[in-house]
Amino acid sequence: AGKLVTNTAYPDVNYDDYGTHSPEITYLTNLGIVKGYADGTFGYGAPLARVDYIVWLYRAAGSPAVDSQAPFSDVTATTVPNKDFRDA
């Protein structure tokens, strides 16, 4: 895990194989909903956690401002991306 950055050419995504969902990955990356890792990879095939889905939904909703917190026991200061998850 690490700092997330925008990228549309992930080395771990096979763009020649439609079964890898590369068009969808590129589309959602261009919208800023999903982001690759600082090492340039997407994390293709890696298990997804609750934080991933929540952050994607939050970003898809336009990253709205929030005025309350609902802390989760499994979210810490080192959870990536902590700010998006907290705001969601």
**Phi, psi dihedral angles at 7 (to 5 degrees):** -155, 140
Residue type, 21: H
Q: Where are the domains of the chain?
A: 1-46, 48-88
Beta bridge partners of 5: 36
Q: Tell me what the mean pLDDT of segment 51-72 comes to.
A: 82
Q: Is the pLDDT of residue 88 over 70?
A: no
DSSP code of 85?
A: H
Residue 67's pLDDT is what?
Answer: 66
User: pTM of the predicted model, to two decimals?
Assistant: 0.64
**Phi, psi dihedral angles at 47 (to 5 degrees):** -65, 145
Q: pLDDT tens for residues 12-34?
A: 998 888 788 888 998 999 999 99
Q: How far apart are CA 39 and CA 10, in angstroms?
A: 10
Angle in degrees, CA 83, 84, 87, rounded to 5: 85
